[in-house]
Amino acid sequence: MAQDESITGTENAKDIRIGVFVCECGTNIGGVVNCRAVADYAATLPNVVHSVVNKYTCSDAGQSEIKQAIKNHNLNRVLVASCTPKTHEPIFRACVEEGGLNPYLFEFVNIREHCSWIHMQDKDSATKKASELVRMGVSRARLLEPLQSNEVPVTNKALVIGAGVAGMQAALDIADMGYKVYLVEKNPSIGGKMAQLDKTFPTNDCSICILGPKMVEIARNKNIELMTYSEVEEVDGYVGNFKVKVKHKPRFIDTTTCTGCGLCVQKCPVEVPYFEFNEGIGTRKAIYVPFPQAVPLRAVVDKSVCIDCGACIKTCESHSINMEQKETFSDIEVGVIVVTTGYDIYDPEPKHDFGYGLCDNVVTGMELERLLNASGPTMGKLVRPSDAKPPKRIGFVQCVGSRDKNRNRYCSGFCCMYALKDAQLIREKYPDSEVYIMYMDIRSPFRNYEEFYDRARDMGIKFIRGKPGKVDEDKNGNVTVRIEDTLTSNLYNLELDLLVLSVGAVAGESSEHIRHLLKVSRAADGFMMEAHPKLKPVDTNLDGIFIGGVTQGPKDIPYSVSQGSACAARATRYLAQGKATTEGITVEVDDDVCVGCGICVPMCPFQALSLVDGKLNIIKALCKGCGTCATACPTGALQQNHFKNEQLLAQIRGAFTFEGE
């Protein structure tokens, strides 16, 4: 660190010694940009005392070369021209620090994503542009200043938002590592979509039978504070120190005394014709227990339909019903946040895909799961909605809402497998049924999935390759599907009793709300975006915030569980270390220049600025370094470190040259 002292605002321009490292990235850059020419050009720029080409600058050899060069050439600035700072800036900052320089005396120039990869057919222009980008970087590097990043203590608690199977796994793993976890779930029970499923592929074991014990484990775990029927309202702070406000919606039940016996439900006179847990099939009461295995196994009152007759209150032996309950709030402090808010099922109703919403006997995959489920509205007896008769001929349409340019382009991944599953379940239960799967391709990677597909074919399930055209329902409820088998070019009018749409996943509405609150990026498919598609699949661009399960994109249960565990491991690193480093890039005010006008104060979205006795006061811990206030400062007294006016202006100036220069 001794080196830092010599590089201060008072250093002389002639003392600045810049080392330039131009990376070929194998042929990624080297195949398009003439890196030798770029390095030679850089060597002619003022203050550049060392300029070389590396095959891979980020490799061990490349990094050693940087550290060596800092010593051998007495460098006090390092510039790497390679890929993107989004992935590699931390690596090179650490490298120059190991070489004895302040990490902020490092300048990054992107000549891969922003040059070689987008000018592949024009090598001359790419080389010229790369040289200019390096020139811009050198101009800025000259004015870089050392900064100190701050170490902050980490609150050793975690928040997990969303208690589907992914969130449950994350919470259990963090809790088992010895840390306190707040698990927030918006519904009255935990479990997510998996609690609604009948069986699970590829082993066809009963979904709730494997999920139920895990749900109980959550309730029993002393390190987990479960908050059901609750939602995150506000999030403030940064890695290690998040302050979160959680809203607890009123259940109108004292959950500490309610036993979930269900007597109240029997007495309630109000039948609600839409039971969410059963995908709208069948009814529930105004007071209800979400499902027999719910955790917590407690009743909840739907006030929007309750007629205040008091029948439930009279029957409740434990006096647990309190119609006066109000919503309450908790303020919690956590060091890390894991988001596992799952997904919404694609809704075929608005566009009436394949007659859904127009024909009674066209249902979604999830509706079928409930119809097959022993604790579902029909006790597991498969009937068709129009007349409650058992269907004999059942068809599945694949890729509904997925792999369709007018809906969603992506593949939802799990719908082929669940159709194969449900088709098998139907054939097992009703051996005289006929089952058809209408598909574009069957996607069945991973262990035992292809074998599962083979099994379906062996069981006599018929596969028709093609997408149905017209779907009609006659007055008896029989459905006719017109389809061309694209393998044989045969045209069929398939007569069915029940048509099941294998609907996929879409980004959840309540996930989107959380995404906004936390400022997590959104990928093109609408789901939350990871920091790196391969190397950081559950990290986000925000330190201390992680995403797992279908929140991050469609995936099945095993994959969701793995991501839940991955989130736990990634998040717990901070809790175990007990400290995190925050950006050194904050704002600073020159008291001699500041006139105390206060224009900057309302600019800050984090209340980091205030006027104290006519002087600007900055609370560094609150400043997140956006620089918005510095832009508003009329005198230039307020400057954003690392993005000071003169640094940015130098970089802009570097983009231009006089002819022949």
Q: List residues binding other proteins (CB under 8 A).
A: 84-86, 110, 112-115, 117-122, 125-126, 128-129, 132-133, 136, 516, 519, 521-524, 529, 541-542, 585, 603, 605-606, 624-628, 630-632, 640, 643, 645, 648-649, 651-653, 655-659
Task: Return d(Cα 365, Cα 504) in angstroms, integer.
Answer: 9
Site residues (CB under 6 A) for ligand FAD, limited to 542-601: 549-550, 555-558, 560
Q: Is 550 exposed, middle or buried (0-12, 13-18, 19+ CB in 10 A)?
A: buried
Does residue 626 interact with ligand SF4 by CB under 6 A? yes
Q: Element (H or E) spanning 230, and its range?
A: strand 230-238
Does residue 650 interact with ligand SF4 by CB under 6 A? no
Judged by beta carbon, residue 126 or residue 500, the one nearer ligand FAD is 500
Binding residue for ligand FAD, selected from 51, 57, 155, 187, defined by CB under 6 A: 187
Task: Return d(Cα 261, Cα 283) in angstroms, integer.
Answer: 19
Judged by beta carbon, residue 617 or residue 631, the one nearer other proteins is 631
Contact assessment for residue 523 and residue 358, using Cβ atoms and an 8 Å cutoff: no
> In DSSP terms, which residues pair with 199 in a beta bridge?
206
Contact assessment for residue 92 and residue 35, using Cβ atoms and an 8 Å cutoff: no
Looking up tokens 């600045």 gives 16
Task: Return d(Cα 281, Cα 522) in angstroms, integer.
Answer: 33
Q: How many C-beta neighbours within 10 Å does residue 339 have?
A: 30
Residues near ligand FAD (CB under 6 A), total: 42
Judged by beta carbon, residue 287 or residue 337, the one nearer other proteins is 337
- Chosen from ligand FAD, ligand SF4, other proteins, none, partner binding at 315 (C-beta under 5 to 8 Å by type): none
Could you tell me which of 506, 514, 508, 505 has the C-alpha nearest to residue 160? 514
- What's the CA angle centered on 187, arms 420 and 274, to 5 degrees? 70
Q: How far is the CB of 407 from other proteins (least distance, A)?
A: 18
Does residue 418 interact with ligand FAD by CB under 6 A? yes
Contact letters for ligand SF4, residues 438-477 (x by CB under 6 A): ----------------------------------------
> How far does the chain reach from its first CA to its final CA, in angstroms?
38
Does residue 419 interact with ligand SF4 by CB under 6 A? no
Judged by beta carbon, residue 503 or residue 589, the one nearer ligand FAD is 503
Contact letters for ligand SF4, residues 560-589 (x by CB under 6 A): --------------------------xx--
- Chosen from other proteins, ligand SF4, ligand FAD, none, partner binding at 577 (C-beta under 5 to 8 Å by type): none
Task: Return d(Cα 439, Cα 38) in angstroms, integer.
Answer: 53
Q: How far is the CB of 639 from ligand SF4 (least distance, A)?
A: 10
Judged by beta carbon, residue 404 or residue 583, the one nearer other proteins is 583
Which three-class secondary structure state does DSSP give residue 180? strand
Longest distance between any two alpha carbons in the chain, whole Å: 94
CA distances from 616 to 53, 590, 594, 599 (A): 46, 9, 8, 10
Q: How far is the CB of 271 from ligand FAD (least distance, A)?
A: 24
Could you tell me which of 619, 625, 407, 437 has the C-alpha nearest to residue 506? 407
Does residue 164 interact with ligand FAD by CB under 6 A? yes
Contacting positions for ligand FAD (CB under 6 A) = 161-167, 184-187, 192-194, 197, 200-201, 231-232, 340-343, 345, 365-366, 369, 414, 418, 421, 508, 510-511, 513-514, 549-550, 555-558, 560
